[in-house]
Structure 1
């Protein structure tokens, strides 16, 4: 009997491997890694594959894309770049146009941006802005914890809902496991609306857990937008002994691009809740901005799709290729494919100052050692890599080039963010904000230690072993 069961498991695993090879768009590295997992641990490996290895099925993909199209089409045409080509900086026309052609990412010029790199400053501003809401609050986070800061924000949302303000809270089923109807009961009773992205009937087991809504979006009254790396939880305020000080980057902005961030939220909301949203009321009415800025923004979304068009990744690639003077990157994860790696190497070999900052300690051991491997591969080409303060955790997801363009958002510099997670970034065309991001990076360098080629080449055999194992499974991390 046992032999029959074992044989059946091996047959199922073999069929799974053939399915990956012939039916799915999947990299060779991913196929090899999963085949190894299925071979080493046939039963456990198959269960893990079901949980975190499957590609998103076509029905889900088409469902999400169809929802987005129906949401976007109402005013897609009037925001096309061709309608305002004369206003665009010619130096940036290529990247703006290429991003817009990939997806709905209109270029909006009249924005005013505030940059936040400290968690206390960010949460103070978020709470203040939420308290001033008059009509609507749309809030979406990958992680929303029911700890001190989480409950403080939830109570404020509950208060605003009782005042008659339309409050929508969307959270990811995997990232926000602590949220449930018991925790949210008072908020719901107050008139607050909730949505759960890819919910599961079991909190522990979720067959869609590999596809996470990693977005962090707040839109208030369709006038104020927040997007960036912070989630909602005490650890993001530096209260975790494991992580220490939390270094992240977030923006608050007012202006024309707030509509596009709100549209991103509403597309996610519509998919998760099936609510028939009155877009004319939510988006189309003219907004009287008290102030207009000079910062231009494209809100760029990405997620798993059948065409393998990964918008944020392609945007990063275009930035790397455009840079003439410097490229400064911050990311907690550095698990990159050949396209990103080769572009960074070529930029460095061409005389561009390429600096990448990653955490000095990891939140996941395999990811940390995979970071080291991919960082080490870049060093010989002249790319400089730095480990941020070991008593803190670097979680910022930023790219800035040449004091001209920067990207701030939710997407890490890794394959998961590029191909599996649902992400959103603000691509910002502003000399002032780019310089501020550059200055923040340079201040962080004072707390960082460079990973030199000499140090990397002298690493111990144990470290090399950890790197090798992590590299082997890096495509499925």
Structure 2
């Protein structure tokens, strides 16, 4: 066979392989995926085939490794079993008529029961909330459970680590979980590990991606939760990571970027639910199932809030947070206020929000005027025209602040706070915590915070949006194609 014939055969074989790969992609990729996610992968494979195929093999499934999935099933059963005895709110609680089915939906999906008698403190200033967390650690007598997507040691967070070390010296058991790749990208990662080792804390990486140690899984499945539980009687959760508000990056410093977060301190029965979530994540990473530790005799404030902890992530069969969000949006009668730093909804959420606005319900969305992630920022902007045309009011929080708070309110009844963004990553790829709260006092305080956002925001109009530069429009449209795989 001469060289020309061999070359022709090789070229023919490559054409056949390329054709077969494309046909198989069309058949296999849409299975059990949203159409928009499948389309994004197909476009990647058709336009950049070798890179697209490699990326799909690495990132194309949000399923955890088999052993991890088995452990997650055990964890889900543990959540249901260990929370069965919690005191529930009375069946005759004066909830809106529509709230009961949503509470039951959450429970069916693997959430904790709704529990009453809780109290809370809300924080919208990062320095104040960090100081409050440090104060609670300094008061700890038995246990401190720390779980954060990002846990970095820098000048701002050093007092937090010092408080943990002092607690250990007092005989307090300190357990720490930090997301591996979430923290790895920051210079405070290694100092944090060294500090945890020196102080004698029990600590582990969450979802470690360490191929040389045989720990290989999809690298962008992350644990995005933010939890601090002290003595089993006080819990903090929300959007704040343990890192300097500028996130230790030179580019952020050049732009003057500062993150603005939202945290809540809870007391009452809901703390046991939040701690149960830490216990399940601890078991997933260590194979150690912690016994429920007796809480110390420590005065706590009784309150009138009903709260339900709703965990979500790739370990659950359904997208718990998305189902919760959509159910609440459809239940709204008067007003919906949404706050999310990364707003990239799937079709179901986009329809729910625009349907609410077109039905005469007041819908407000707070997002940042500027972004810290190019593709997410432009993908988010690609939805603004649809939202504005439907009647949604969009408020852009003033730069150079990144409004990183994650919460929303429905009518004068229900609030949801936690770590979850309103984007497809948080719905499918990240482990998150959401807390649904019924109680007028909580919502009133949260509405006051939303009002403060409005004072530092400007409202975007459809006319302004349609007049944006053509290059901006192109970037938005192209980024939208990547939204489902970000």
Is TM more than 0.5 here? yes
Residue 448 of structure 1 pairs with residue 457 of structure 2: yes
Residue 211 of structure 1 pairs with residue 190 of structure 2: no
Q: Show the counterpart of 2:339.
A: 330
Task: Say which SS state the counterpart of residue 182 (structure 2) adopts.
Answer: coil
Task: Say which SS state the counterpart of residue 203 (structure 2) adopts.
Answer: strand
Residue 229 of structure 1 pairs with residue 239 of structure 2: yes
Q: Show the counterpart of 2:157.
A: 150
How far residue 183 of structure 1 moved from its aligned partner, in angstroms, is: 4.5
Q: Show the counterpart of 2:433.
A: 424
Segments of 5+ residues of structure 1 without an aligned counterpart are none
Give CA-to-partner distance per residue, 1:143-185, whole Å, 9 cap, x none: 1123223333223212212222110100111101157677534
Pair 6,325 (structure 1): closer, same or farther in 2 beyond 3 Å: same
Task: Say which SS state the counterpart of residue 183 (structure 2) adopts.
Answer: coil
1:461 and 1:19 map into 2 onto residues whose CA distance is 36
How far residue 186 of structure 1 moved from its aligned partner, in angstroms, is: 4.6
Residue 273 of structure 1 pairs with residue 286 of structure 2: yes
Q: Show the counterpart of 2:139.
A: 132
How far residue 50 of structure 1 moved from its aligned partner, in angstroms, is: 4.2
Structure 1 residue corresponding to 2:126, chosen from 115, 119, 125: 119
Q: Given the two structures, how large is their TM-score scaled by the length of structure 1?
A: 0.90
1:136 and 1:12 map into 2 onto residues whose CA distance is 57
Residue 343 of structure 1 pairs with residue 352 of structure 2: yes
2:442 and 2:248 map into 1 onto residues whose CA distance is 25
Q: Show the counterpart of 1:174.
A: 181
**Cα contact 2:236–2:264 (8 A) shared by 1:** yes
Pair 337,203 (structure 1): closer, same or farther in 2 beyond 3 Å: farther
Task: Say which SS state the counterpart of residue 171 (structure 1) adopts.
Answer: strand
Moved more, 140-149 or 200-209: 200-209
Task: Say which SS state the counterpart of residue 398 (structure 2) adopts.
Answer: coil
How far residue 334 of structure 1 moved from its aligned partner, in angstroms, is: 1.4
**Cα contact 2:415–2:443 (8 A) shared by 1:** yes
2:138 and 2:20 map into 1 onto residues whose CA distance is 55
Segments of 5+ residues of structure 2 without an aligned counterpart are 1-5
2:94 and 2:291 map into 1 onto residues whose CA distance is 32
Task: Say which SS state the counterpart of residue 181 (structure 2) adopts.
Answer: coil
Q: Show the counterpart of 1:472.
A: 481
1:411 and 1:203 map into 2 onto residues whose CA distance is 31
Structure 1 residue corresponding to 2:45, chosen from 38, 46, 53: 38
Structure 2 residue corresponding to 1:191, chosen from 175, 182, 200: 200
**Cα contact 2:282–2:289 (8 A) shared by 1:** no
Larger Rg: 2
Q: Show the counterpart of 2:29.
A: 21
How far residue 417 of structure 1 moved from its aligned partner, in angstroms, is: 0.4
Give the number of equivalent residue pairs. Answer: 471
Residue 320 of structure 1 pairs with residue 329 of structure 2: yes
Moved more, 100-109 or 255-264: 100-109
Q: Show the counterpart of 2:418.
A: 409
Task: Say which SS state the counterpart of residue 228 (structure 2) adopts.
Answer: strand
**Cα contact 1:296–1:430 (8 A) shared by 2:** yes
Residue 254 of structure 1 pairs with residue 267 of structure 2: yes
2:398 and 2:163 map into 1 onto residues whose CA distance is 34
Q: Show the counterpart of 2:258.
A: 245
Structure 1 residue corresponding to 2:74, chosen from 63, 67, 71: 67
Q: Show the counterpart of 1:385.
A: 394
Task: Say which SS state the counterpart of residue 159 (structure 2) adopts.
Answer: helix
Task: Say which SS state the counterpart of residue 29 (structure 2) adopts.
Answer: helix
1:281-292 map, 5 Å:
281=293, 289-292=299-302
**Cα contact 1:235–1:243 (8 A) shared by 2:** no
1:83-94 map, 5 Å:
84-87=90-93, 89-91=95-97, 92-94=99-101
1:28 and 1:103 map into 2 onto residues whose CA distance is 26
**Cα contact 1:54–1:210 (8 A) shared by 2:** no
**Cα contact 1:155–1:187 (8 A) shared by 2:** no
Q: Show the counterpart of 2:3.
A: none
Moved more, 120-129 or 51-60: 51-60
**Cα contact 1:120–1:237 (8 A) shared by 2:** no
